[in-house]
Every structure is written in structure tokens, then in C-alpha cells.
Structure 1
């Protein structure tokens, strides 16, 4: 195993842990700052929206900055921001440090994926990207539960120190092992956003946005939704998070084979339908631990498993500029996470945490409708012989294109 890739994967693990761990310590955060659970959820919202909006912007503006310097700068900002959250004297300052953490993540995220593809031979680039991406996926099964357990057994402030320590270790690895990273060709922000002019791309990305809004409406308030089942015991909550994350990790591995066998359209429709049913029954299944585990496993497997057929469909729309559209899809994921914090907070006020599943199910239903509209557009374009490449297309490929 190339240790340079492991270093980058560790950085992605830290970023992913920071994305998911707040949900596990949300009640403690709310109590610490004497605020409601919905308000505390905005810590996830601020981090996600900053990452979503700044990742493509920084990738364009910092195209001429040496990759190692950008990686170290991103991790440095990320470490300081999480330590700042740990010692924040007020909720307003905590929100500001979460935004700063999003900035650091936006500097590291696209740079790490592009660097992974550029430091290995062409025949190993796919494996390199898979290793780095696994860091983010594994964070759902290990990083978030460990951070939740640390916060439950000690104090949530130590959870943020744990995240900062992970990023610091990655930074030391970058400093020691990544001596030279080739520079990518520059692509402007306008060129990165150009594919949005294609309705097929717009509808497909809207599906991503709606689905992840639904999924993270539940996840952001995970501790509150499953509070009846866990009795707010940090060990039980961490176990539920492990089950959710592990199911998602496994599903990511086998869903690609399903797509190859029956096509992305059928796989995506089936997984969205199962998540819809899961969320509709969540007000009942989240009441007891014996039923909460199957609900979390089904949600984790089908929720994360749906990412593969969705990405497969996106690549099929415009394979020539797939890295750019996949980058837009990542932004749609984090924008959905952002919206989820707001939607979930409002849902708790109106419906209560126990019935949040109904609201999430409605959003999944909307995602299914938009997904079908996207497929019809794609089919119509194929029947009409429309070229794959959306117009206007970028004139150069971004750093991710080295994959």
C-alpha cells in the first residue's frame, strides 16, 4: 500500500468524521450552550454549506498554488478551527469556527482527490482514488462512532480535539511523504459550472440534493430521533452509528456490481423506494433498540448504496467531463446536508423528533419523482441522438481529471 495515499485517506477520514460526528454529540452541544437541539444542528449546517460553496471556488482560484502547500494549508486551517470549536466560549463563536473548518475542508477535499490520481502511474489511478475515497466512507463506520463515544464518556469538546488530532497526523504525513505533486491544468469557476446548463445534469443533481436533504434531516438529529431506543446512552448511540456506517461501507462495495448487472436506473429506484419505506416506519422503529438497528442498517445500506448508481448515471450523461460533474454532485451532497439542518430543525418544532421520518420520507418521494424526470430526459436525448457532452463545455480538465 502506498503510504502517500494512506496519508491522504487519513485526511479524508478526518474530514468525514467532522461531517458526521456532531450528530452524535448534538444533545451535549445543545446543553453546553443552553440552546435547542435544532439550533445546535446548525453547527453541521454551517460546516456543510461552507464546504459545498467553497470547494469548487477554491479549486478554481487556487489552481496555480502548489498542491502540497494547499494540502498543508487546508489541514492547518481545519486543525485550528476544530480546536477553536473545542474552546469556543459561545455558540456564535462555535458557529464561526465550524465555518472555518469548512474552509479548511474545501481546500483539502478536491486537492487530495486530484493529488491521489496524479502521484501514481495511470494504470493505478482508479485504485488510488478508491483508497482516498474510502477514508471518507470509513469515517461513517469508525470515526463518527468513536468521536460520539469520546464525547459521551468524557465531554463533547474532546470529540473536536479528536478530529483535530486526526487532521494533524495527516498533515505530518503530507509533510513527510508527499515530496512532489504535479500541478493540474487550470479551469475557471465558470467552466466548472457550465454543465448545469444541461437539463439532464440539473435534474440529476437535484435528485442528489433532495435525497441527501432527506437522509441528513434524520442523520443531523440522529441522537434525538433514536433517543427513545438508546435512552441517550452514548455506547448504544455509538453502536447504532457503527451499524449505519458499516452497512453503508459494505453497500458501496457491492452496489457497483448491481449497477453493472441491471443498470443504474433500476438500482437507484429500488434503493430510494426502500429508504422511503424505512423513513415512513421510522417513527415506530426508532422507539426500541431491537427495531432501531434494522432501520439504521437498511437506511445506511440503501442511502450510501444509492450514491454509486447516481454517480454512474452522471458519468453516462457526459463521460468526457465526468470529473467536473462529479465535483458538482459532491457540492449537491453538501448543499443537501446544509438544507437538512434547517429542515430538520423546523421539523422538530412542528412534528417533534419522533416524527421526523415523515418529513424525510416526503423529501425522498420528491427525489424519486425528479429522478424519473431525469431518466426521461436522458432517454429522450439518446433517442434524439443528442451528444453526450453538455453545452457549453469546459475547455480544460480540472485536477480531478487525472483519474
Structure 2
């Protein structure tokens, strides 16, 4: 079981590298395509928006397909899209290739996370989901810093070819090592949307959106901001991103373990409190390389501990329909990335690092409020069901 889950994590590693490495090579892309930095940043917004909208729609149309075949198709699309991105000579072609990459990613991630819930027993589900999500965090440890270095040493096209290679490796892993997985019963788009009528689920998905929206205001432009504030060279920036990724992997593991051991709400509240504090302090800490390193470590651990705990919590709402709920959560994740990177593209042109960090921290405060609100609604619903049963 765990070996197959590692194969799925390799796929999320490729997707995570594709999603996050663009932020690290934005200045290179902007120069190569002769566009502004803010316009290049909007390609991150478009990728995330297409992913968010495409995930539930594509999940509906591909619901009857055998899961292994769907994983292979999505990874093939991702590889092709990155090759086309590397060959792009202008913004329209590059944007179209990023849309195609988002389609591949939106097919893969919900399918992989849903398959995990069928592989792992309930008492180990949090750790299994955390392992798959660790593919995303591991991409920030290895994929993104290496991609940034490749872009610095060669060019940004070589970085995207590197992402295409990762996608091919994941495809070969699924093709070679994974058995056929029967598709679950087909679910209509209307049925998926109907899940949003449940107030506790809708609020929880909104929390996911807020998690990512707040952090992506800064994360989309982390390389540029680090260079402006600390004046570090490309190698030092890559090492900083490596440190951030290592902390993220630790955070993902801690989040999964904590969700199993102490519960989802405590894990989410603790992670958000740390995240809010470090975002408020980041403008002062970032004035030195040591302070920046400390801030990135805390940010990585706190921020990446949230996703496995949140996924585990969402699956607990309705384990029998985990695939639907996780696909909606994937949409919420990328809506958050889209809104956060879009807001960041506006702020970076007019605001200081301090203003951007305070706005990001304020959004995470709202997320904390919604967690407490959702937890209260959940407790009230349980109390009412107990009263009715009595």
C-alpha cells in the first residue's frame, strides 16, 4: 500500500513543481516573452483558475474512466503542456500551454487523493493523504530550487523541460507499478454542486480558499521579494527556497500525524496561529538573511501542516463520497492560489512588503475565524442529532 502511495506522491511532486516553479522563474519568463513581471505573474493566476473550475467539471466527464488510465492521461497532458510552454515565443502561446497544464493537473490530483482513500484504512488515512500531499511539499524542497537553478544556469525553457521530464517519470511509475483501479459510480455535476448546500462543508472549503489566498500573495513573488529585501544572489535564493521546502515537508508530516493524534481542529488552529504570527513579523525578519531563513522555516511548517489536516477533516464529513469532496477541495485550493496570486500581482506594483504581509496575515485571521465557526456549527449539528435520536 505505502509503495503505491509513493508512486502517487511522485505525480503530485511533478504537479507541485509545475505549479510553484513558475514563481521562481517569473523574471526570466517576463524577460524572455518581453512582458511585465505583473503580467507574467498572471499566468500563475490563470493556471490556478483553470484548475479550480476544471477539476469538478472534468471529474464529472471522466467519472466512468478506469482510474489508472485517467492518471496516465493526466500525466501525459502535463508533460506535453510543459514542452509547449518551453517552446512558446509569446504570451498567448505560453498562456494556452499553461491552460493545458492546468487541465492535466486538475485531472490528476483529485483522482490520486481519492484513490488513496481506497488504499488506506481509516485509522491511517490522515498519514496516507499527508504522504501524497508531501509530493507537493517535496517539490518545493527539490523541484522548485532545482528548477530555479536550471533557469539561472541555462534558461527558463530548460526549467519547463525539467518539469516535463518529471511528469514522464511519474507516468512511467504509474504505468509500471500501479494496478487497474475500478472507477467509482458516476456522479453528475449537479450532485457535486449540491454538496455545497451543506453549510459546514461550504465553510470548510472557504477556509481552504483563505489558507492559500493569504500565503500566495507573498509566495508567488517570493524570489523577487527576497532579492529586493535581502539582496541575495540566485544560488542563495535557491538555498532559501530549499529551506522553505524542507520545512514544508516537515509541516506536511506533522499535520498528518497531528490530525490522527490530536484531531483536525487543534491542528488547523495551531498551524494558523503560527502562520499569522510569522506573516505579521516577516517584514522585520526579512531584513536579514538569517531572519528570512527563520521566517521561511516557520512559514513552511505552519502553512503546509494545514492541508493534510483539512483534507482529513473534509473526508470525515462523508467518507463514502471522499472523491467528490476532495475534488471540491482541490478547486478551493486553486481558487485560493488564483485569487492570492492575482491580488499579489496588483500589490507588488503599488505596495511595500510590509503591506503585502499584513494583508496576507489578515486573510489568515479570517480563515481562523471560519474554522472556529465551522467547528461550532459541527458541534451543534451533532448535539441536535443526539437529541433527535433520544
Q: Note closer, same or farther for the CA distance 1:181–1:125 as it changes in structure 2 (3 Å cut).
A: farther
Shift of 1:232: 5.1
Q: Is the 8 A contact 1:79 1:167 kept in 2?
A: yes
Three-state SS of the structure 2 residue aligned to 1:298 is: helix
Checking the alignment, whether the CA contact within 8 Å between 1:317 and 1:378 is kept in structure 2 is no
Name the counterpart of 1:97.
97
Q: CA 1:284–1:313 in structure 2 vs 1: closer, same or farther (change >3 Å)?
A: same
- Matched ranges for 1:2-401 at <5 A: 5-115=5-115, 126=125, 131-178=131-178, 180-231=180-231, 233-260=233-260, 262-353=262-353, 355-385=355-385
**TM-score normalised to the size of structure 1?**
0.87
Answer whether contact 2:86 2:158 (CA < 8 A) is retained. yes
Taking structure 2 as the reference length, the TM-score comes to: 0.89
Measure, in 1, the Cα distance between the counterparts of 2:10 and 2:263.
32
Alignment correspondent of 1:391: none
Who is 1:392 aligned against? Answer: none
Given that 1:224 and 1:353 are in contact with CA atoms closer than 8 Å, whether structure 2 keeps it comes out as no
Cα distance in 1, alignment partners of residues 306 and 178 from structure 2: 33
Greater displacement, 223-232 / 27-36: 223-232
Deviations 1:5-53 (A, max 9, x none): 5443322211111011111111212222232222111121122122222
Is the contact made by 1:228 and 1:288 (CA closer than 8 Å) also made in structure 2?
A: no
How far apart are residue 262 of structure 1 and its match?
4.4
CA contact (8 A) 2:148 2:238 kept: yes
What is the CA RMSD across the aligned residues, in angstroms? 2.6
Write the distance in 2 (CA, Å) between the matches of 1:186 and 1:314: 20
When residues 54 and 386 of structure 1 are mapped into structure 2, their CA distance, relative to the original with a 3 A threshold, is farther
What is the alpha-carbon distance in structure 2 between the residues aligned to residue 263 and residue 158 of structure 1? 43
Conserved 8 A contact 2:129-2:308: no
Contact in 2 for aligned 1:226/1:287 (Cα 8 Å): no
Cα gap change, 1:318/1:111 in structure 2, threshold over 3 Å: closer, same or farther?
Answer: closer
Q: Please report how far the alpha carbon of residue 220 of structure 1 lies from its aligned counterpart in structure 2 after TM superposition.
A: 0.7
Between 233-242 and 182-191, the greater mean CA deviation after superposition: 182-191
Shift of 1:320: 4.5
Q: Distance in 2 between matches of 1:259 and 1:80?
A: 37
Q: CA deviation at 1:2?
A: 7.0
| Deviation by residue 1:59-112 (Cα, 9 ceiling, x = unmatched) | 211122333432332222211111111111112221111011001112222333
Structure 1 pair 170–82 and aligned structure 2 pair: CA distance change class (3 A): same
Q: Larger deviation: 235-244 or 131-140?
A: 131-140
Structure 1 residues 116 and 298 mapped into 2: Cα distance closer, same or farther (>3 Å)?
A: closer
Cα distance in 1, alignment partners of residues 161 and 227 from structure 2 = 25
Gaps spanning 5+ residues in structure 1: where?
A: 388-403
- The 1:23–1:51 alpha-carbon spacing in structure 2 relative to 1, beyond 3 Å, is same
CA contact (8 A) 2:133 2:308 kept: no
Q: Is the 8 Å Cα contact of residues 209 and 332 (structure 2) preserved in structure 1? A: yes
Q: Provide the C-alpha distance between the structure 1 equivalents of 2:278 and 2:121, rounded to a whole number of angstroms.
A: 42
Distance 2:135 2:273 in 1: 28
- 1:229, 1:289 within 8 Å by CA — same for their partners in 2? no
Please, which moves more after superposition, 229-238 or 326-335? 229-238
Give the C-alpha shift of residue 121 in structure 1.
8.7
Q: Aligned equivalents of 2:359 and 2:146: distance in 1?
A: 29
